[in-house]
Chain A
Amino acid sequence: MKMLLLSPLFAAFAALAAPLAAQPVPPPAASPPAEEGGLTGGSVSDENDWQDLGIAITDFATDADVATSTTAGSTAQLGRGLSRIVAGNLRNNGLFKPSGPDGLPQPLFSEVQAPSYGLWQGRSAEMLVQGSVRMVGDQIAVGCYLFDVALGQQLAGASWTVAPSDWRRAAHKCSDLVYSRLSGENPFFDSRIAYIAETGPKSRRIKRLAVMDSDGANHSFLTTGQAIALTPRYSPDYKSILYLSYLNGSPRIYTIDPVTRSQRLVVQSSNPIFAPRWSPDGKWVLYSMAQAGNTDIYRIPAGGGTPLRLTNTPGINIGGSFSPDGSKIVFESDRSGSQQIYVMNADGSNQRRVSFFGGRAATPEWSPRGDQIAFTHIAGNFRIAVMSPGGGELRYLTDSWQDEAPSWAPNGRLIQFFRTLQNSGKASLWQVDLTGRNQRQLPTPVDASDPAWGPIRP
């Protein structure tokens, strides 16, 4: 059994909450036919083959409609809320065209794991997602099951026990279960996003650190806006966020605890410090420090210690993103005369330029899968692009006036970035998949920039 940590936002309720326990439910034996139909290939190019898959999602049924302390209401209301989140997740990411829960026949609690396949075959549904919800003490037990209607078989199933404050996580884990089983890809819905919320006039934008779930729910501002906040990064364990703040008048990097909101200056220095990054294991922090006009990249143990200088060339060396195995760092440097992308070993050795596309190349981020680097390509407009770690296979994912600063989904299949509008300077968060076809704006309460997509929650 896997012990899962609570949402940082709700850790204050930790005393009330039991660990979120994942209890995989083995599907019925012998379901190799489910591998047919191109549903599990998962390569980018064939997404069209399965994104029109008819998936019906019914209300999660309850054994007894009782009050809960969730924001959703009673267990029956919770059941509808859960199924709506699942349907919204699958729909919003452009991967599927789900139907329901509204307008569909709803199952009894006893039918959740034994659907009437004939009914759904008659409605031309190819896949069916059903779920259950019930109170267990002061906890909420949620079951989630995926059925192949044509085959009359269960393809996947799992159940989770969550604290009432964490009920939406169960829907995200259900979404991940369905997505992963049908696409063959790793999950990404059960994750959070840190970003910069922007208000006020262009000349004096107020920039606040904010966090939210991957679907925009459970939104919270972590800083007041008195000091400019920029470029957040969630730690791999979600216990801490690195970000840049003008808290003491000049740019420095801090960690902030998303629950207690206590802050710590990461590097003691009188020099300006930018561009904080975590290593994939959370043990190291990269930062960039300016000194006499030059900026170089340094590495320091996350808990503090002696910095190691990684770059030492005239010019601006900034940013940095570790390969998933932690062995290499992709970063940005203008040592050639313009912003370009370089790769080096994690100790700073073997620095070599990889971007040769013309124009400028900035803000590289290594995919969590290791196979691609996302970056901002500047040639007139700013576009989000991907390339291989060696600098080949350039592909543009967006085409707008100013798209900037890609951040990978935990599974390396989607990218978030921010888009700035000409003249007004208004910025918003956007998401695009690796085909570039499925693009959408993320809901935020105010203008937004610098998205930082965290990993799958522990």
Chain B
Amino acid sequence: MSKGTIAAVLAVSMALSACATKAPKQLPPDPGAATAADANNGAPIPGSQADFVAFTQGQDTVYFDTDRYNIDSEDAAALATQAQWLMRYPGKRATIEGHCDERGTREYNLALGERRANAAKTYLASLGVDATRLSTVSYGKERPAAMGSDEASWAKNRRAVSVTID
């Protein structure tokens, strides 16, 4: 990727960061949802996982089509948001958890979940996040987020979730 792109990403990152420092409009409506908030007057502690969740507003997770692992434009936007936060806190590490829906065999899903997590990691690295800060782990179909056995639930379960390490 070109230096120009990196510069642009950094510029956007700083702009959003400035916004995030003021915070209120970016936070979820329920302040109780932020776990590390108390010591910071209702706002998450900057640089914490709670701060990452608040900052990314649901974009800590990217979703995949059945049996696919490619990063589409929606995923790219989510990962760009994650990258902004990660660039702002260069000392923070993150684990990307890869998941699959239940309609796959167990072992294949372990490999597919790893592939999805790796795709997200590679994209974050392409945005300038040092790859050594990022690790991956696949849970295959062992840790679903939505419990139903229907297309809507499966779509929510085919995912890669970035979790920063406090």
Contact = CB atoms under 8 A, between A and B. Distances in A.
Interface of A: 202-205, 207, 228, 230-231, 244, 249-251, 272, 274-275, 288, 290, 292-295, 316, 318-319, 332, 334, 338-339, 362-363, 376, 378, 382, 402, 404-405, 420, 422-423, 425, 449-450
B88 interface: no
22 contacts: A202-B144, A203-B143, A203-B145, A207-B142, A251-B137, A272-B136, A274-B111, A275-B110, A288-B111, A290-B111, A293-B69, A293-B118, A318-B111, A339-B105, A363-B107, A376-B105, A378-B104, A378-B105, A382-B103, A405-B106, A423-B149, A425-B149
B108 A316 contact: yes
Given A293-B69, A293-B118, A404-B106, A205 B142 contact: yes
B115 A316 contact: yes
Contacts of B56: none
A204 B139 CA distance: 11
A316 B136 CA distance: 17
Interface of B: 67, 69, 102-108, 110-112, 114-115, 118-119, 122, 136-139, 142-145, 147-149
A244 B106 CA distance: 12
In the A-B complex, the 10 residue pairs with the closest CB atoms: A293-B118, A295-B111, A362-B105, A422-B149, A290-B114, A316-B111, A293-B115, A423-B149, A275-B107, A250-B137
Contacts of A420: 102
Given A230-B106, A376-B105, A272 B147 contact: no
B143 A272 contact: no
A342 to B, nearest CB: 13
Contact of A450 (B106, B118, B144, B148): B106
Contacts of B102: 402, 420, 425
B134 to A, nearest CB: 13
A332 B109 CA distance: 12
Contacts of B145: 203
B119 A293 contact: yes
B110 A274 contact: yes
A425 B119 contact: no
Quick one: which of B69, B108, B148 has the most chain A CB within 10 A? B108
B105 A404 contact: yes
A288 B115 CA distance: 13
Contacts of B147: 202-203, 423, 425
B114 A295 contact: yes
Given A404-B106, A450-B106, A272 B114 contact: yes
Contact of A251 (B104, B108, B138): B138
Contact of A405 (B103, B105, B144): B105
Contacts of B107: 231, 274-275, 288, 318-319, 332, 363
Contacts of B138: 251, 272, 290
A172 to B, nearest CB: 29
Nearest to A421: B149
Given A293-B115, A382-B105, A402-B103, 14 more contacts: A272-B137, A274-B107, A275-B110, A290-B138, A292-B118, A295-B114, A316-B111, A332-B108, A338-B67, A339-B108, A376-B105, A422-B149, A425-B102, A425-B149
Contacts of A272: 110, 114, 136-138
B115 A290 contact: yes
Nearest to A450: B106
Contacts of B144: 202-203, 425
A272 B139 CA distance: 11
Contacts of A275: 107, 110
A249 B135 CA distance: 11
B106 A231 contact: yes
A204 B145 CA distance: 9
Nearest to A249: B137
A295 B136 CA distance: 14
A458 B139 CA distance: 36
B107 to A, nearest CB: 5
Contacts of B122: 292-293
A377 B103 CA distance: 12
Contacts of A251: 110, 137-138
A405 B142 CA distance: 15
Quick one: which of B102, B114, B147 has the most chain A CB within 10 A? B114
Contacts of A423: 147-149
Nearest to B150: A423
Nearest to B146: A203
Contacts of B148: 423
Nearest to A361: B105
Nearest to B105: A362
B126 to A, nearest CB: 14
Contacts of B67: 334, 338
Quick one: which of A295, A376, A402, A450 has the most chain B CB within 10 A? A295
A204 B162 CA distance: 18
B139 to A, nearest CB: 8
A376 B69 CA distance: 22
Nearest to A337: B67
Nearest to A316: B111
A295 B69 CA distance: 14
Given A423-B148, A423-B149, A425-B147, A363 B105 contact: yes
A420 B141 CA distance: 12
A382 B147 CA distance: 19
A120 to B, nearest CB: 49
